[in-house]
Structure 1
Amino acid sequence: MARDIIVFDFSLIRGMWETRVKKYIQRRKKEQQRVEQSALQKIKQEWSFMLECRQKGIPQSVYLNNGFVDTGLRILEKLEENSHLIRKFDSLEDVTREKDKYIFELYGEHIKEFPDSLREQTHLKEWHISNTQIHTIPAYIALFQELRVLELSQNLISQLPPEIGYLHNLKELNVSFNRLTCIPPELGNCENVEKMDFSGNLELTELPFELSNLKQVSFVDLSDNKFPTIPICILRMPNLEWLDLSSNNLKDLPEDIDRLNELKTLLLQKNMLKYLPWSLTNMPKLSMLIVSGDSLVEMPSALLETPSLKFISLRDSTVSADLNAEIKEERDSCRDLQQFEKEFMRAYIEDIVERETAPCYTTKISLSLHL
């Protein structure tokens, strides 16, 4: 059986299809270019860019230029690169806000009493109350079991409530420059206290023996009061490192002052000391001792020969003594003078600590101008 075989030239067919494919690709490319250059595509791109910026919290002022969106900026790329810094900053802000929730602050000479809302905020860990007309501390302070810092400086407080003994987590107590005449023995129950400041109350003469229980105390400031001698409870604080008894009525020091083995700084200027006990030479960590040299007549020579001890003898000039006598006529002026002298001594001590050697004595001169 015979068959007719039709022979095709496949090279012609192949060429025809290749030509069609090329034309199709060219049309697609032109269409893509047209779409990319069209206003609709640009609007879509800008909206996508704006949406992503909003989601990441980027303000419009950053990516808008005269009212038009500048999509060429590398804002999102830079944001991605610095995302760890942003997260770190946010976490710091969160920590700050969280910390502020536990701090109560109250300042102003017009304030005479605590706000009623304070009673309900028993979660607080710090009280900072200063420069007010407040006279008393409420008994409900006993409810603040988480209190760590009680800063009550420069008010008109005349007494501390016995309920302060319930603050078992208290670390710092500052009641300086008030009108306290005594300290409640219940304070001895706050066995975690590390820092106490009773300076500038003018009338304090003793501390209760119960404060001997405070074995963690490292800082005590009793300056600008009327202590005739170092309280016994102070000598029973084994971790005490800083003791300020300047501007008191000290006439002598106890012979067993060397019980304070950890004491590093002892401030005794502006007292009535005439001699220093030999036991001061048995305090190996004592590195700063400041006294008033005007009335001092006897002291161990070993104090001057100890290389690790900076022994300073302050001498008041007759000019400053006359001015101080005039200023002390008014209580408010006296308080200002005390605060100024404390700031002066703080700066002076910082300077002495930084020096390799200390001066053998310093003459302190006060000047004032009357118009």
Structure 2
Amino acid sequence: MPLFGLANNVRMSLDLINSKQYFSEQSVVLLNYAGLEDNDINVDSFLHVEYLYLKRNLLTQLPQSIAKLCRLKELLLESNSIECLPDELSSLVFLHVLNVNSNLLTLLPTSVCQLASLTKLQISDNRLTQLPSDLGKLVNLEILEASRNLLTTVPKEIMFCKCLKLLALDRNKLVRLPRQLFVLSDLNEVSLAGNNLQYLPLDVVRLPRLRHLIVDDNVDLHYILEVPDDNNILIISKTALHASNLTAERPAVHGLHIVLRRDLPHVVLPPEFQEVCQYGTHSVPGLQELALRAVFDLMETQPGVRSSCKDLPAELSDLLQCPSAHCHVCARAMFRSAFFAA
């Protein structure tokens, strides 16, 4: 693979950088640690480049002419001072990897969400307060790294990123996660350390390929979930109880197995739940729970019912499309009721 590199040559000759003869046949160009500023590079010099690395320079923005780099597959912009990304970025239809870690981004533009070929998005160490709902358009995305930002949640549309395998959201300000996140069956690792989480979506332990769930340093997390015996999830947490603390015998209640932290007196459940039942009692789910279960069962067997549910209030329709949780005993969908161990 043709490669051109000038890394570590501080303030190299701009004539050399902008000379088309040096890059006309190069597919990989390394310009890391080169002291480059916004006006230093002529995009026309990189028209044939597929891999462009510009780590730790002095860039504050990308030119609109970035759209000309139609062959680009990887773009590394880590450790610059970029405050925004141009709309023209959406023209990079072959881009697989975008790394803008350690910049000054406050907003992730929708142009990034139009990069249909993107498999790896690295946006850690920025100033992002939210992610766009269009994130769900990244249907080929496998890795999303967004640690050390100012995020309080992630959009529920992430459920459409069906190929997602690794999600890193450490050191944000997350207080909740959408339950829709945990319908992504390919998820292998979810890292949530150092946030403000009070609860986890209850279906997290049902993910077939999830092997690492990291929730360290979430001091307000009130419980973790008991992992089924046939699941290999490793929950990494210094503050939560582990399955070894559970009693050996438990009534066969069709509900969710939740382990409470003994040092926290109050429990914060996901907002979808309206009632809490306890193992060892004869609690019966409420009328709305029973009705939602019945409608959901009809949706599974009669396709025409699903389209009719779109006329329901948005909250109920959303619940029917993506239940709050599933029973760990019978795997039946659950909506408004949760069961706790005594």
Which 4+ runs in 1 deviate beyond 4 A? none
Q: Check the 8 A contact 2:33/2:55 in 1, yes or no.
A: yes
Asked if 2 retains the 8 angstrom alpha-carbon contact of 1:269 and 1:314, the reply is no
- What are the within-5 Å matches in structure 2 for residues 222-237 of structure 1? 222-237=123-138
Aligned mates of 2:151, 2:217 — CA distance in 1: 17
8 Å Cα contact 1:210-1:233 kept in structure 2 = no
The Cα shift of 1:167 comes to 0.7
Select which of 86, 103, 126 maps to 2:3: 103
How far did residue 294 of structure 1 move?
Answer: 5.0
Structure 2 residues without counterparts, runs of 5 or longer: 220-231, 240-342
- For the pair shown, the structure with the greater C-alpha radius of gyration is 1
Query: Relative contact order, CA 8 A, sep 6+: which one is greater?
Result: 2
> 2:131, 2:154 within 8 Å by CA — same for their partners in 1?
yes
Q: Secondary structure at the match of 1:234?
A: helix
Aligned equivalent of 1:148: 50
Q: Look up the match of 1:360.
A: 236
Q: What's 1:200 paired with?
A: 102
Q: Which residue of 2 aligns with 1:90?
A: none
Q: Give the Cα separation in 2 of the matches to 1:113 and 1:235.
A: 42
Match in the other structure for 1:19: none
Measured against aligned partners, the alpha-carbon deviations of 1:297-318 in whole angstroms (never above 9, x if no partner) come to 021222135452121113289x
Do 2:135 and 2:158's aligned partners in 1 also have CA atoms closer than 8 Å?
no
After superposition, the C-alpha distances for 1:129-171 in whole angstroms (9 at most, x for unaligned) are: 1122211254632343211001001111111111111011100
Residue 120 of structure 1: aligned partner: 20
- The structure 1 residue matched to 2:181, chosen from 262, 270, 280, is 280
**How far is the alpha carbon of 1:233 from its aligned partner?**
4.2
SS in 2 for 1:107: coil
Which amino acid letter does the alignment assign opposite residue 276 of structure 1? Answer: L
User: 3-state DSSP class of the match of 2:6?
Assistant: strand
Tell me how far 1:123 sits from its aligned partner: 2.4
Q: Check conservation: 1:222, 1:244, Cα contact below 8 A.
A: yes
Number of corresponding residues: 224
Instruction: Give the whole-Å Cα distance in 1 for the aligned partners of 2:65 and 2:137.
Output: 24
The one-letter code sitting in structure 1 at the alignment partner of 2:52 is: L
In the superposition, the TM-score normalised over structure 1's length comes to 0.56
TM-score norm. by structure 2 comes to 0.60
The residue type equivalent to 1:181 in the other structure is: E
Could you say if the C-alpha distance between residues 303 and 132 of structure 1 is closer, same or farther in structure 2, counting changes exceeding 3 Å? same
Structure 2 CA distance, aligned partners of 1:294 and 1:126? 38
Corresponding position of 1:51: none
Matched AA of 2:166: T
Task: Judge conservation of contact 1:223–1:248 (CA < 8 Å) in 2.
Answer: yes
SS at the partner of 1:315?
coil
CA contact (8 A) 1:242 1:265 kept: yes
Helix, strand or coil: the match of 1:257? helix
AA at the equivalent of 1:227: L
Q: Which of 146, 168, 171 pairs up with 2:73?
A: 171
- Tell me which amino acid in the other structure corresponds to 2:135: I
- Could you list the per-position Cα deviations for residues 52-100 of structure 1 after superposition, in whole angstroms to 9, with x for gaps in the alignment? xxxxxxxxxxxxxxxxxxxxxxxxxxxxxxxxxxxxxxxxxxxxxxx4x
Structure 1 residue 130 corresponds to structure 2 residue 6 = no
Q: Which has the higher helix share?
A: 1
Identical counterparts, % of pairs? 26
